[in-house]
Amino acid sequence: MLFYGEFEDFKIGITKDSQGIFLPKQIHSNVVVYINDYAENIEADGVITDRSAFKIGVKTADCVPIILKSKNFVGAIHAGWRGLYNGILKEAFSLFESFSEKPYFAFIGPSAKECCYEVGPEFQNYFKSLKVVDNKLFFDTQKEAISQLKALNKDIRLLVYDTCTICNKEIPSYRRDKTKERMVVFVEKN
């Protein structure tokens, strides 16, 4: 287990073992779905549930994993640059709001950060969370996610695992190793 946290009415973990955790088939989209039981072939990059004792999660290896918590719901979001650009967090908030809920807490997991994540010039058209070093552009998925979360709820409480997946060799990174290994970030409502 890379990280584990117990809170008043939910738990968060980062592991490499996906056993017992519902994971959608991730497609680098902005699709977020409600689920309350195990199902196969759910294509989405975010899931929310109000079911207790039911672990939901996402797999990542440079994209930013985000856990959301509202009064009665929890959510797990896989936000790559495409998802962030296409509004996956806005979609997640909209789904929470369809149940008259609003996320008040977010956990932002390890992801590719501006120290290592070099991107092309087209990113200047997509994001503000860019850093320029020696005429090269670097993108920070955590900073972008935090900016979008604060725009959706200025009072949201944040817990940030401030680590770059590319720098930290204990965490899987596709960009660093071209690996198929992933970390699993999950949430479970008590």
Residue 121 inside a domain? The answer is no
Residue 52 pLDDT class (50, 70, 90 cuts):
very high
Residue 123 inside a domain? The answer is no
Residue 53 inside a domain? The answer is yes
- The percent of residues in the chain predicted with pLDDT above 90, rounded, is 98
pTM of the model: 0.97
Whichever domain contains 149, its CATH number is 3.60.140.10
Task: Work out how many domains the chain is built from and give that number.
Answer: 1
Residue 131 inside a domain? The answer is no
Specify whether the CB–CB gap between 139 and 125 falls below 8 A. Answer: no
Specify whether the CB–CB gap between 124 and 137 falls below 8 A. Answer: yes
SS (H, E, C) 61-112: CCCEEEEEECCCCEEEEEECHHHHHCCHHHHHHHHHHHCCCCCCEEEECCEC
Query: What is the reported pLDDT for 6?
Result: 97
Instruction: Provide the residue range defining the domain that includes 96.
Output: 3-111+142-189
Residue 178 inside a domain? The answer is yes
